[in-house]
Homo-oligomer: A and B are copies of this chain.
Amino acid sequence: MAHIKTSDSKTASLRVYEQVRNQISVGAHKVGDRLTEGALAEQFGVSRTPVREALQRLASEGFVEVLPHAGALVKGWSQGDVREVFDIRAHLESMAAGLAARRATAEDVAVLQSYCDTMKQLSQMPTRDVPKISEQNRAFHAEILRIAGNRRMADIALNLMDLGFLVRSFTKFDQGNILRSSSDHQNLVEAIRHGDERWAEAIMRSHILAAASIFTGTAEDDAQARMALRPVGTTPPK
């Protein structure tokens, strides 16, 4: 049996990559699960080759860790990992906010304002649609990175941001946190509108470090994450 014709024009590698990535981020694969090439190939109805490529990409982006002959492990996050990622983001994105403040055009500011407004609306609705808020949040940050004009930096920062979704503790974002975050965004728009680099940098820094403290302060639910995690820092390539 050969071809169930997939009207999907993308390559199989990409489809598998996106699917697995999504499965991980919604928790379908828990931390420490072993993803073997054969199993995934069967699940998606493709051969091992595209699965391999997908896993390698996921590994290079930090979502999984491939062990030589033991399957790919879904990576867990220690508090140290969270701290690492948010530290880097705090530096890179505050730099980006500063650049954005210097470079933003009127249209850029308008776009930012619109993202900000949408998020404000969402955050005030009684039922918090956390995934949607999260999406708007990502778009807002991505837009600032775009305006900053350093493509490489944007790629790095966005990847780090997406990695954060591995820690799917959306519940940690209570109403108060969301409102504060939304307010931070509005301040960022103002700082950028006025071209105030220092202010923009400072807001972004505190904005991200605040998010970091939410995670590191209350990281309780993944006991399994910590268990599955080998004492960090030691990737043992022989």
Contact = CB atoms under 8 A, between A and B. Distances in A.
Interface of A: 49, 52-53, 56-57, 60, 62, 81, 84-85, 87-88, 91-92, 95, 99, 103, 149-153, 156, 160, 232-235
Contact of A87 (B56, B84, B150): B150
B151 A232 contact: yes
Contact of A92 (B62, B85, B91, B150): B91
B234 A84 contact: no
A234 B57 CA distance: 22
Given A53-B56, A60-B57, A91-B92, A85 B152 contact: yes
Nearest to A160: B152
B152 A84 contact: yes
Given A232-B151, A233-B103, A233-B151, A95 B91 contact: yes
A88 B85 CA distance: 15
A51 to B, nearest CB: 13
A92 B88 contact: yes
Contacts of A87: 95, 150, 153
Q: Which of A53, A60, A152, A232 has the most CB of B within 10 A?
A: A152
Contacts of A150: 84, 87-88, 234
Contacts of A151: 84, 232-233
Contact of A153 (B52, B56, B88, B153): B88
A84 B84 CA distance: 22
A100 to B, nearest CB: 11
Contact of A88 (B84, B152, B235): B152
Nearest to A150: B84
A232 B149 CA distance: 8
23 contacts: A49-B49, A53-B56, A56-B57, A60-B60, A81-B152, A84-B150, A84-B151, A84-B153, A85-B152, A87-B95, A87-B150, A88-B92, A88-B152, A88-B153, A88-B156, A91-B91, A91-B95, A92-B92, A103-B233, A103-B234, A149-B233, A149-B234, A151-B232
